[in-house]
Amino acid sequence: MLTVSVYRYHPELDKKPYMQDFQVDTGGKDLMVLDVLNMLKVQDSGLAYRRSCREGVCGSDGMNINGVNGLACITPLSACVKNNKLILRPLPALPVIRDLVIDMDQFYKQYEKVKPFLLNDTPAPAIERLQSPEEREKLDGLYECILCACCSTACPSFWWNPDKFIGPSGLLQAYRFLADSRDTATEERLADLDDPFSVFRCHGIMNCVTVCPKGLNPTKAIGHIRNMLLTRAT
Amino acid sequence: MVTTITNFGRSGLYDWLLQRISAVVLALYSVFMVVYLLLNPQLDYAQWDALFGMTSMRIFSLMALLSLGAHCWIGLWSVSTDYIKPFVFRFVFQMVIGVLMFVYTVWGVQLLWGL
């Protein structure tokens, strides 16, 4: 039997959050954490968590699994369980709506700030804006982000200043558009980032790189943004 | 763009660059001092006075002193914006640090240049 300790909080019923222990029979199988959550849901239908695609594509089920942020659907028990115990908490730093469900408003506000869409003031071509394979290659490692918030909520700089520091996820996206050959707003984008918080609150702690379930490297992208800012200003 | 008026250089990039350049200067100065002290175990006052009487040493020391002031200001400003959330406490802390850095810098110049 696996002991699963889950963070529970129902704002209308509970005065404060608490940890609830469940016993789950995994049948000796190396299940994914999401499978275990689904088994808990059978035991207690009131348990709240987000999930959708169950294959690491939608980014809904980001949570803190035995102290490390990750996606429940692609984290096998063998990779996280210690001493036959699984501890599940909501992603840190953002307000909890209920149980493992967090309010991601602040995260999305930072994402909005970087204008995550192509800006191009040149006349639209008849069919499409073309890119060479080399130009397209620059977007690899950037476009794959699924906005699960595992990285930003693992970042101490984001914990202290979630309203000012864009966070690793938003900055990865910022660089995704700075690096895009079809975008013509590079100057405006960089001007918007040149303050002591938006980019420069990153101290290279690299928790984002450690936890990213897609294996992306936001710290490297932030380094590229810094270099672009430096090149522009010197 | 986040507006800030109490940081050192009004621009994140400026603070970031200055923090790194001042760190290099401080590292060089520290290494120089340690090596100098190790190579001169019988150091006396006259030798020490002669060292700081050299214009090059005075320039190097002044550079290190200014680097220290700027480096501390940028670093502690950063720490205050992370950990001190109430505006009044944060602002007072920043002002105290700013005044202290100014006092130490002027005092240091006075000592180094024997003014």
Per residue in B9-68, pLDDT (tens digit) is 778 999 999 999 999 999 999 999 999 999 999 999 999 999 999 999 999 999 999 999
Q: What is the 3-state secondary structure (H, E, C) of chain B?
A: CCCCCCCCCCCHHHHHHHHHHHHHHHHHHHHHHHHHHHHCCCCCHHHHHHHHHCHHHHHHHHHHHHHHHHHHHHHHHHHHHHHCCCHHHHHHHHHHHHHHHHHHHHHHHHHHHCC
Q: Is the domain of A201 the same as that of A150?
A: yes
Q: Which CATH number covers residue B31?
A: 1.20.1300.10
- What's the domain count of chain A? 2
Residues 95-114 of A with CB under 8 A from B: none
Contacts with A187 (C-beta within 8 Å, 6 or more apart), sequence order: A232
Q: Which CATH number covers residue A185?
A: 1.10.1060.10
Query: Are the beta carbons of B4 and A196 separated by less than 8 Å?
Result: yes
Q: Domain of residue A56: give its range.
A: 2-102
Q: Which residues of A touch B13 (CB under 8 A)?
A: 194, 200, 226, 229-230, 233
Nearest CA in chain A to B17: A230
Alpha-carbon distance of B73 to B78, in angstroms, equals 8
Query: Are the beta carbons of A161 and B82 separated by less than 8 Å?
Result: yes
How many interface pairs between A and B have CB atoms less than 8 angstroms apart? 49
Q: Which CATH number covers residue A68?
A: 3.10.20.30
Predicted local confidence at residue B115, as pLDDT: 63
ipTM score of the complex?
0.85
- What's the domain count of chain B? 1
Predicted local confidence at residue B4, as pLDDT: 80
Q: Which residues of B touch A191 (CB under 8 A)?
A: 1
Q: Is the domain of A152 the same as that of A122?
A: yes
Q: Domain of residue B19: give its range.
A: 12-113
Predicted local confidence at residue A164, as pLDDT: 95
3-state secondary structure of A231: helix
Q: Is the domain of A68 the same as that of A144?
A: no
Q: Say if B25 falls within a structural domain.
A: yes
Do the beta carbons of residue A2 and residue A86 sit within 8 Å? Answer: yes
Spell out the per-residue pLDDT of chain A, length 234, in tens.
Answer: 999 999 999 999 999 999 999 999 999 899 999 999 999 999 999 999 999 999 999 999 999 999 999 999 999 999 999 999 999 999 999 999 999 999 999 999 999 999 999 999 999 999 999 999 999 999 999 999 999 999 999 999 999 999 999 999 999 999 999 999 999 999 999 999 999 999 999 999 999 999 999 999 999 999 999 999 999 988
Between A195, A201, A229, which is nearest B1 by CB?
A: A195
Q: What is the pTM of this model?
A: 0.91
Q: Is the domain of A73 the same as that of A112?
A: no
